[in-house]
Amino acid sequence: MTTTQAPAATARRRRTPRTWVKNGGLTALAFALPMILIFTVFSWGPIVRSVVMSFQKTNLLQPAEFVGFDNFIAVLNDPLLGTAVLNTLYFAALALVMGFPIPILMAVLMSEVRRGKGIYSALAYLPVVVPPVVAVLLWKVFYDASPNGVLNTVLGWVGIGPQPWLQSQAQAMPSLVIEATWAAAGGSIIIYLAALLAVPPELYDAAEVDGASIWRKAWHVTLPQLRGVIFVMLILQILATAQIFLEPFLFTGGGPVNSTTTVLLLIYRYAFQNSLGGNYGMATALSVMLAIFLALLSWIYFRLTARWSTS
């Protein structure tokens, strides 16, 4: 990319505005400009502004003033922060336990059946198509705590008494996770199915020559071949669960007694639900801290996928 200004460089190589236009520089810029403008105003600019604002005291009414690390200290001293972090971790852990193995199992089974794969994939993907807000509002009806609630009726059929679901501190978070798992599993299943298609058939053939049973093939061929995708999905899921917002916001608003207040909900409250006007400094300070953690994760993720896709 670097042109040396050697004397041998002829007039053809010298860059003047005219040669620049002639060589397509202007048209290239015309094509690049929409992207550059949009990213400057709506991506790069706000990212920089976020970092700047985390060191400022600002609420749009008064001019911003620099306050050093005050915002960060205020956030770290907020007694709710610990709760929010723990709740977010709890959500992530529950989502891993409930939501992570199911799609793998379903995808492996679905890839084995000889007929009906198309219908099974469509059925599995259907919940993903439902708009997330609709899904949450629908499940909110399902979680009706009365004995005649939808899920409580189902539990009644198998002889289990009515559960309080969203109204109890202990059950609110698991309820959120169940809905989130239902809403997301289909997407993961499709990804695992695609990965299973990419397993080289020769590996199975070779295993059979060695007399491997179905279980041994699944354990020694399929799972190792899926290892890469499983790890990627793991990181993607952690990235997604760390930013969980919609479910606690719409199901419970963070309650009961802050048992479902997550980090993102806290950011939202700092900025947009503050009786003293938006505390944008604290909101951005917490966003920046969360973002650094997540950016590290996505960097690891990207390095791994880049290595795998080149190898």
Burial of 247 (0-12, 13-18, 19+ CB in 10 A): buried
Please state the closest distance from residue 272 (CB atom) to other proteins, in A. 7
129 versus 170: smaller Cβ distance to other proteins: 129
CA atoms of 165 and 171, how far apart (whole Å): 5
Residue 251 three-state SS: helix
For the chain, give the number of residues: 311
Among 91, 143, 165, 280, binds other proteins (CB under 8 A): 280
Please name the amino acid found at residue 247: E
Please state the closest distance from residue 255 (CB atom) to other proteins, in A. 15
| Residue 199-218 contact track with other proteins, rule CB under 8 A, x = bound | -xx--xx--x-----x--xx
Tokens in use for 288?
Answer: 């920046």
Q: Quick one: how far is CA 178 from the chain centroid?
A: 17
Cβ neighbours of residue 193 under 8 Å, at least 6 residues apart?
107, 110, 111, 121
Among 70, 236, 258, 274, binds other proteins (CB under 8 A): 236
80 versus 144: smaller Cβ distance to other proteins: 144
Taking CB under 8 A as the binding criterion, the range among 68-76, 81-89, 93-101, 134-142 that sits at the site for other proteins is 134-142
Among 14, 19, 21, 47, binds other proteins (CB under 8 A): 47
Task: Determine phi and psi for 274, rounding to 5 degrees.
Answer: -105, 125
Q: CB of 165 within 8 A of CB of 145?
A: yes
Tokens in use for 183?
Answer: 């809403």
Among 21, 24, 65, 76, binds other proteins (CB under 8 A): 24
- Eight-class DSSP state of 62: S
69 versus 299: smaller Cβ distance to other proteins: 299
155 contributes a contact to other proteins by CB under 8 A: no
Burial of 297 (0-12, 13-18, 19+ CB in 10 A): middle
Question: What residues from 59 to 88 belong to the interface with other proteins (CB under 8 A)?
Answer: 60
Cβ neighbours of residue 38 under 8 Å, at least 6 residues apart?
none
Question: What residues from 161 to 180 belong to the interface with other proteins (CB under 8 A)?
Answer: none
17 contributes a contact to other proteins by CB under 8 A: no
172 versus 185: smaller Cβ distance to other proteins: 185
118 contributes a contact to other proteins by CB under 8 A: yes
160 contributes a contact to other proteins by CB under 8 A: no
Among 8, 11, 18, 31, binds other proteins (CB under 8 A): 31
